[in-house]
């Protein structure tokens, strides 16, 4: 079992992970990376154009929801 052992050390246990699980995790990480990049771009563009905070918040929420 993996977790904290006495004295603050961590016990390492090797586990086999199915390839489909690894691919799903990779796809999820890439999707979040894409959203973070879109959010960064939206913030940069809004700052450059003087867009209102309310408009920026709406756009940010849509990006994080995966709508944009």
pLDDT in tens, 9-38: 888 888 898 999 999 999 999 999 999 998
pLDDT of res. 1: 47
Q: DSSP state, 9? A: -
Residue 49: pLDDT band by 50, 70, 90 thresholds?
Answer: confident
The bridge status of strand 3-4 relative to strand 10-11 is: antiparallel
* Helix 53-64 × helix 19-49 angle, to 10°: 170
Which is more confident, 7 or 36?
36
Model-level pTM? Answer: 0.59
Nearest-CA neighbor of 40 among 59, 53, 27, 54?
A: 59
Q: Could you tell me the residue ranges of all domains in the chain?
A: 19-68
Please state the rounded mean pLDDT for residues 53-57.
84
pLDDT of res. 27: 97
């Amino acid at each position: 079992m993996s977790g904290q052992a006495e004295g603050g050390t961590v016990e390492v246990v090797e586990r086999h992970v199915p390839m489909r699980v690894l691919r799903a995790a990779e796809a999820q990480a890439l999707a979040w990376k894409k959203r973070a990049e879109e959010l960064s771009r939206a913030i940069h563009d809004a700052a450059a154009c003087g867009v209102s905070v309310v408009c920026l918040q709406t756009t940010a929420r849509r990006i994080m929801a995966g709508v944009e």
